[in-house]
Structure 1
Amino acid sequence: MSKKVLITGSNGLLGQKLLDKLRNNPEYLVIATAKGADRYRETGYVYESLDITNQVEVESVMLKHRPDHLIHTAAMTNVDACEAERELCKKLNVDAVQYFIDACKQTNSHFIHLSTDFIFDGANGPYDEEASPNPLSYYGQTKLESEELLKDSEIDYAILRTIIVFGVVKDMSRSNIVLWAKAALEKGQNINVVNDQYRNPTLAEDLADACILAMEKRVKGIFNASGKDFMSILEIVERIADFWKLDKSLINPISADTLNQPAKRPVKTGFVLDKSIKELGYSPRSFEEGLMIVDEQLSLIK
C-alpha cells in the first residue's frame, strides 16, 4: 500500500524539491497543494488548489485525501512584510497551523512542520533543539506560536527548524541569497552585504531530504535541519563570488544597523545538527556542494 503524503506550498522552493523527490515514487501517493494554479506542472502527483487561511478548504482537502503524512511548507516568510502585515502573517503562520492540527485529529495524519532560526534572539547561537526561544520579530513570534500549537496538540508531529534556504525553482519565480548575489555580481552591480550576522545556509534539496527522513521514520519532536557550514552573511556572498569567479570588490560590507529594516534580525543563529544526524540520518552537503547543484540546475534552465 502506498502511503499518502500531502504537501502544502507545493509551488514554493521546498515544495518543488519535495515533488522532485517523491512524485512517481510507487511508495507514495503525493497530493500537492498551493494557492491558485499548479506552477510545477509535471506528472506523478495529484494537485489541489488550497487557501490555507480558509478552514473549510483545509478540512475539506484533508478529509478528502486523508494523508498519512502532511508536510506543511506554506508560510509567510518575508520578515519585514510580516512586521507590516501582522493580521495576514498571523492567518498564514498561526491560524492555518491550527486548522491543519484540527484536521489531523480527524485523519490521524503525521504533521511535519517547517520552522525557523528566527524564533531565537541570536545572543548565543548556534542552537540545539533544547535552546530557549526568544523571537525578535513578529515573523519569529508567529513561527514560535505555531510550534507551541503543535506541542499542545495531541497529534503526531515533527518540527523541522531551518535557516536561509537556497536553490532553484523550475520557473525561476523565486529568488534567494544565492541567486540574488550571483545575478547582481554578474551584472557588475555593487551590493551591500551584512557582515555582522551569522547563519547556516541550507540547500533546499537537503531540507527536502530531512522532511522525507522525518516522514519515513514518522519521528516526533523537534529537529534542526539546516546546512552544516556556519558563516557570516558576508562570507556566504564572498563564497558565492569565489565559486562563480565573480568580482568580490563589488561587495560592500555593512553593519546590519545601517539598513534600518522594519523587523529586527538575530545576530548569530546557526544550528547544532547532532540530533538530526543521529536520529534522522540527516547528511547535509557543504555550501560549495550546494552551489554545484545550483549551477547544474541553472545550466539546464538556460
Structure 2
Amino acid sequence: MKIILTGASGLLGHAFAQAAKRRKHEVIGIVGSYAVPIAGLSQQKAIDLNDLAVLERFVLEQFPDAIVNCAAMSIPALCESDPSASERINVLVPEKLALLSRHLFARFIHISTDQVFDGASVPYFIGDPPNPSSIYSMHKAESEKRALDMASEFASIIRIPILNGNSPRGNRSLHEQLIAAWSRGEKAHLFTDEYRQPCLSDNLADAMVELCERNDLQGLLHWAGADPLSRFEIGQQILDHFGLSPDLISKSNRGNHPEHSRRQENLTLDLQPLAGRLKTRPQPFSEQLESLIVPKQFRVWYNSI
C-alpha cells in the first residue's frame, strides 16, 4: 500500500512511518522545514501546507492508496494568538486531503482531539456532541465535520488524548517536556483535578496502520490509553520510571490558575467500537512507560543527578 503522510516529522507521524514500514507499506512523508531523514519513509518531501495547490498536485501525482493526516497546529496558545494560521492547518488542510481521498478512492485517516469535548460528563462516546472551548478545539471539531462531509465513505476521524513517546527532536511528548523543565531547574506544578488518558504514540500508530488496511471502520472513532490519570499522577509515574526525585513535581489545582480556567476537568473517552475490533489493544500507562527514554540533549543533565 502506498501511503501519503503529512506531519511526518512530528511525534505521531514519526511513529506511524515506522509502524507502516514494519507492515511493508510504502510511506511518502510530507514535512515542512525538517531536513533530517525520518526512519520508515521511502520518500521525504518538503511542502508548505499553507500552499494547498502544491499539496494537491503532489498528492495527485503520487496517487496513494491512503492519506494519513498527522499535521496540526496543536499548541492551543499558538492557535489563540493566530487563529488564521490555525484554521489553515487544522481545518483547510484536512478538508483538502479529504476531498483528494474521495477523488482517488483512497482511505483517509485524520487525527482529531479529545479536546472537542467540554470535560464535564465522562466518559465521552463517539456520538456525544462536541462542545469545544478554545480556538484549537473549535477548529478540530470543524475539521471533523468537513472531512466527513467531503469523504464519509473513506474517512476515519480519530479523537486522541495527550501522547507519550520519543519524538525525533526529543521535545514533543509529555515526558520530554517535563524533562526539559526539570533540566532547567524548574519544578512542575501539575493539576490533581485534570484527568487525561495518555497514549503511547507507537500504540496509536499501530492502530492507525490497521485502519489504513481496513474498509469497515469509517466515521468518528476514539483511541487512548487504558488509564484515566490526573496530571499529577502522570508526573509521579514518570518520575518513578526515570528514578527521579519526587520533589521535582508539586500538586496544583486548576481553580488557583485563572489562565487555565478553560482547561477541561476530565476527557476520558469510551474506546468502543475501535478497541474491540482491532488487533492493537489500548495500553495501560505502566506499559507505555517502558518505551520512554531520556532525549539525547538532556542525558548529560540526567546522568549528573
TM-score, normalising length: structure 1: 0.90
SS of match in other structure, 1:77? coil
Number of aligned positions between the proteins: 297
Are 1:207 and 2:207 counterparts? Answer: no
Map of 2:303 onto structure 1: none
Map of 1:54 onto structure 2: 51
Alpha-carbon shift at residue 25 of structure 1 (Å): 4.9
SS of match in other structure, 1:136? coil
Alpha-carbon shift at residue 225 of structure 1 (Å): 1.1
Q: After alignment, is 43-52 or 70-79 more displaced? A: 43-52
Q: After alignment, is 118-127 or 14-23 more displaced? A: 14-23
- Alignment equivalent of 1:83, drawn from 48, 59, 80: 80
Query: Any gaps of 5 or more consecutive residues in structure 1?
Result: none
Alpha-carbon shift at residue 257 of structure 1 (Å): 3.3
AA at the equivalent of 1:84: S
* Structure 1 contact 104–111 (Cα < 8 Å) conserved: yes
Map of 1:257 onto structure 2: 255
* Structure 2 contact 10–168 (Cα < 8 Å) conserved: no
Q: After alignment, is 130-139 or 43-52 more displaced? A: 43-52
Question: Percent identity at matched positions?
Answer: 26
Map of 2:268 onto structure 1: 270
SS of match in other structure, 2:80? helix
* Structure 1 contact 33–49 (Cα < 8 Å) conserved: yes
Distance in structure 2 (CA, Å) of the matches to 1:259 and 1:85:
23
* Structure 2 contact 28–41 (Cα < 8 Å) conserved: no
Matches for 1:31-46 after TM superposition, within 5 Å: 31-42=28-39, 45-46=42-43
Map of 1:145 onto structure 2: 142
- Alignment equivalent of 1:13, drawn from 11, 14, 17: 11
Distance in structure 1 (CA, Å) of the matches to 2:225 and 2:76:
20
Greater than 6 Å deviation, 4+ residue runs: none
Map of 1:105 onto structure 2: 102
SS of match in other structure, 2:159? strand
Distance in structure 1 (CA, Å) of the matches to 2:261 and 2:173:
18
* Structure 1 contact 16–40 (Cα < 8 Å) conserved: no
Distance in structure 2 (CA, Å) of the matches to 1:102 and 1:294:
37
Alpha-carbon shift at residue 186 of structure 1 (Å): 6.3
SS of match in other structure, 1:282? coil
Map of 1:224 onto structure 2: 222
Distance in structure 1 (CA, Å) of the matches to 2:261 and 2:78:
9
Q: Deviations over 1:169-214 (max 9, x none)?
A: 2342x33321232454466642211121111011110110111111
Are 1:129 and 2:111 counterparts? Answer: no
* Structure 1 contact 161–225 (Cα < 8 Å) conserved: yes
Q: Deviations over 1:25-80 (max 9, x none)?
A: 54x22111111244344465111112222111121111111111111000100011
AA at the equivalent of 1:180: Q
TM-score, normalising length: structure 2: 0.90
Distance in structure 1 (CA, Å) of the matches to 2:179 and 2:33:
30
* Structure 1 contact 53–91 (Cα < 8 Å) conserved: yes
Matches for 1:146-161 after TM superposition, within 5 Å: 146-154=143-151, 155-161=153-159
SS of match in other structure, 2:28? strand
AA at the equivalent of 2:234: I
* Structure 2 contact 20–40 (Cα < 8 Å) conserved: no
